[in-house]
Amino acid sequence: MSKEFVQEAMDTSEKFSCNEGDILFQEGEPANHFFILLKGCVLLSQGKQGPTVHMARHTGEFIGWSTPTGRDFFSASAKCLKTANLLKFERDRFLRILETNSENAAILFKRLAKELGKRLIETYPTIV
């Protein structure tokens, strides 16, 4: 992605921290924002205490993919398992940036698709 696109996107983000046990969002809530993990660990699960869908623990991981993919509501819940530092992006502001940067948007969605595919493969053992 271009340096200018990344900077424009970063300018719309805000730094956000959560403590162990804090809930970032719950399944079914409006998907008005998403996060990029900088440090920490966030558990993604179905429902309030359902099965684990994914454990975000690597810098740069996307949390709340429902937001930029056109879903109106979160498909999972996100809970901080230990103190985490994140970047928080507001849905409408971010989507406006994507609309004016089609090449960069394509790269971003390609990377997001790769990440979602990886997460899907990780969940196979829980559904078989």
Measure CA of the first residue to CA of the last residue in the chain; give whole Å: 37
pLDDT at residue 99 is higher than 70: yes
CATH code of 34's domain: 2.60.120.10
pTM for the full model? 0.79
Q: Which domain holds residue 72?
A: 3-127
Helix (H, G, I), strand (E, B) or coil at 30: strand
**Per-residue model confidence (pLDDT) at position 26:** 92
Mean pLDDT to the nearest integer, 45-60 = 76
Tokens of 116: 């979602």
Q: Are 61 and 39 in contact (CB under 8 A)?
A: no
Question: How many helices (DSSP H) and strands (DSSP E) are in the chain?
Answer: 3, 6
* Domains of the chain: total: 1
Phi, psi of 26, rounded to the nearest 5 degrees: -120, 150
Tokens of 62: 């996307």
